Structure 1
Amino acid sequence: MATLLHLDSSALSHGSASREVTATFRKAWEEQHPEGKVVYRDLAAEPLPHLSAAGITAAFTDPADHTEEQKAALALRTELVEELEAADAVLIGAPMYNFTIPSSLKAWLDQVIIMGRTGGENSTVAGKPVTVVASRGGAYGPGTPREGFEFAANYLEKVLSGLLGLEVVDVIVPELTLARTVPAMADLVGAADASRAQAHEAAAAKAKELAARLSA
């Protein structure tokens, strides 16, 4: 049975649109794979350290010459990379914070991108399907006033496919998530609710489609 690597990065444990939609995806996935495996990391609740000099240099230094700090840093990077390599599909919850992704998710990316292994040509994770749930408080789609400020979904598509060689299956976008809490957005509540409902439907459908593809 297939293995799903599920990452959440929202700082909110409750009321998070990205967490709610990834949960819908995971539920549908598990219904298709009752005997399957899900590896879960809550990057906000248990944040990873940012990539350090020890983590960088360990990848280019003879293991016999590694310091204790380099050994520890490389062990963490290896653990995270092996999780990614073992996954058949990847699910990422990525809310937009200040026009881009949470630093907790960036830390994970920096740890797992190792040039010559997961990064660059002949990536060990190339072709794995990944689904991104990119929630955002406002509207940043084509034709909106803030279209040029969208650095979350765009960034993830570039780094996941361009550096890791992953197959970006879909980017699901529940938007206008602040409509119910920001008075100035009150007239957008209906659109926000519709966007969230569509995101849940898309997540369930994508999980089932992907599960069927991997089981074929």
Structure 2
Amino acid sequence: MSYLLHIDSSSLGADSVSSQVAQSFRNTWNEPVVHRDLAASPVPHLDAAGIAAWDTDPARRTPEQAAAAAVQDELIEEFLGASGYLFTVPMYNLTMPSVFKAWLDQVIVKGRTFGLPDGPAASGRPALVVSARGGGYGPGTPNHGKDFVVPALETILHDMLGLDVTSLTPELTMAPVVPALTHLIPLHEASLTDAHQQARRQAGKFRDRIAA
């Protein structure tokens, strides 16, 4: 069965702007979805046992290596079974949530998802990154150049995992709650409206592309 894999790393649940925009995608997608909520059920960070398991014969693995390999196997099989990907990755302190980095480190394994003779195992599959942020990081803003989420993810997901990545960045989410940013509310609302519209549009594109 073909499905969309939604990896969600927001800690705010239904109150997360990233998750709300992702829900607009899912409402339009209306096809099978496998949802992994990393905030509710975080995966382990990669450790020495997990790294050693890569090059150790399964019959010779220690109990710790076997347990680490089982985690990797589950996540990699789930990743490779998907036809498309939805990543909810809000900006926390200028970068991605650590739970999402932990997930990446578990699925990026040479010889299984990348480093293969014919390229990454999921090469060419569509992926949407939704990354809300409290401020503005576009050209002309004081924070321009300080977005260490989307540029990093676009590089990792495309160059290492081979995904065809599109990113949505609803901005200024702190404007409605921080008095000093009240004057930016119209810009926030416009950014959010556009993100929801783009999410629905991308869902339609994903569906048509996967069905082709």
TM bin, normalised by shorter chain, reads: over 0.9
Counterpart of 2:148 (choices 130, 147, 151) is: 151
Matched residue, 1:18: 18
Residues 7-58 of structure 1 show CA distances to partners (whole Å, capped at 9, x for unaligned) of: 111111232110001111011101xx3xxx2110001011111011111110
Counterpart of 1:171 (choices 167, 172, 196) is: 167
Aligned equivalents of 2:58, 2:107: Cα separation in 1: 19
Residues 131-162 of structure 1 show CA distances to partners (whole Å, capped at 9, x for unaligned) of: 00011110001222211111000110011011
Work out whether residues 134 and 173 of structure 1, in 8 Å CA contact, stay in contact via their aligned partners in 2. Answer: yes
TM-score by length of 2: 0.96
Give SS of 2:148's match: coil
Matched residue, 2:35: 40
Give SS of 1:201's match: helix
1:187 aligns with 2:179: no
Work out whether residues 2 and 81 of structure 2, in 8 Å CA contact, stay in contact via their aligned partners in 1. Answer: no
| Displaced runs of 4 or more, over 2 A | 119-122
Aligned equivalents of 2:164, 2:22: Cα separation in 1: 18
Counterpart of 2:130 (choices 133, 152, 155) is: 133
Aligned equivalents of 2:67, 2:124: Cα separation in 1: 29
Matched residue, 2:79: 84
Counterpart of 1:105 (choices 100, 107, 128) is: 100
How many residues align? The count is: 210
Unaligned runs of 5+ in 1: none
Aligned equivalents of 2:210, 2:121: Cα separation in 1: 18
Unaligned runs of 5+ in 2: none
Once the two structures are aligned, what percentage of the paired residues are identical? 50
What letter corresponds to residue 135 of structure 2 in structure 1?
G
Work out whether residues 129 and 167 of structure 1, in 8 Å CA contact, stay in contact via their aligned partners in 2. Answer: yes
Return the offset for 1:115: 1.3
Residues 44-103 of structure 1 show CA distances to partners (whole Å, capped at 9, x for unaligned) of: 011111011111110111112101111110011011001110100000011000100000
What letter corresponds to residue 18 of structure 2 in structure 1?
S
Aligned equivalents of 1:81, 1:142: Cα separation in 2: 37
Return the offset for 1:213: 1.4
Aligned equivalents of 2:102, 2:184: Cα separation in 1: 33
Residues 118-139 of structure 1 show CA distances to partners (whole Å, capped at 9, x for unaligned) of: 1234221221111000111100
Work out whether residues 175 and 196 of structure 1, in 8 Å CA contact, stay in contact via their aligned partners in 2. Answer: yes
Matched residue, 2:114: 119
Work out whether residues 2 and 214 of structure 1, in 8 Å CA contact, stay in contact via their aligned partners in 2. Answer: no
What letter corresponds to residue 51 of structure 2 in structure 1?
I
Work out whether residues 48 and 108 of structure 1, in 8 Å CA contact, stay in contact via their aligned partners in 2. Answer: yes
Aligned equivalents of 1:184, 1:52: Cα separation in 2: 43
Work out whether residues 2 and 215 of structure 1, in 8 Å CA contact, stay in contact via their aligned partners in 2. Answer: no
Matched residue, 1:75: 70
Matched residue, 1:202: 198
Aligned equivalents of 1:45, 1:199: Cα separation in 2: 25
Q: Considering only aligned residues, what root-mean-square deviation do their CA atoms show, in Å?
A: 1.1
Work out whether residues 128 and 166 of structure 1, in 8 Å CA contact, stay in contact via their aligned partners in 2. Answer: yes
Return the offset for 1:106: 0.5
